[in-house]
Amino acid sequence: MKSSKGYHGQPMAPVQYSIIGMCTKVCLSIINVLLGILGFAVVLFGGYGLYLSTVVEDNIRIDLEFLYLLGTNVSGAMVPLGTALVVVAVSGCLGACQENLPLLKLYMWVLGIFLIIEISVIVGSFLLVWKADEVMETSLSRSLVDDYRPSSQDVLDFLQSKVECCGLSMDGYQDYERNPLYNCNDMNQNLQRCSVPGSCCLPPHLRLSAPTISAVISNDSFSCGQGALLLDRGGAQALVYT
Q: What tens digit of pLDDT does each residue of 80-90 get? A: 778 888 888 88
Range scoring the smallest mean pLDDT among 68-72, 95-99, 111-115, 128-132: 68-72
pTM: 0.44
Task: Decide: 35 and 91 in contact? Cβ < 8 Å.
Answer: no
Is the confidence at residue 48, as pLDDT, over 80? no
Residues 6+ apart with CB under 8 A from 218: 224
Please work out, in degrees rounded to the nearest 5, the angle formed at the alpha carbon of residue 239 by the alpha carbons of 190 and 66.
75
Half-sphere CA count of 86, side-chain side, radius 13 A:
13
pLDDT of residue 132: 57
Q: How far apart are CA 64 and CA 177, in angstroms?
A: 25
For 172-198, the pLDDT digits (tens) are 888 888 887 888 888 877 777 888 887
% pLDDT > 70, the chain: 59
Q: How far apart are CA 222 and CA 100, in angstroms?
A: 67
For 146-170, the pLDDT digits (tens) are 666 655 677 777 777 777 888 777 7
Q: Compute how many other C-beta atoms are within 10 angstroms of the C-beta atom of residue 28.
A: 18
Average pLDDT over residues 69-82: 63
Q: How far apart are CA 141 and CA 15, in angstroms?
A: 68
pLDDT of residue 212: 40
Domain ranges (residues) in the chain: 22-127, 134-236
Task: Decide: 229 and 174 in contact? Cβ < 8 Å.
Answer: yes
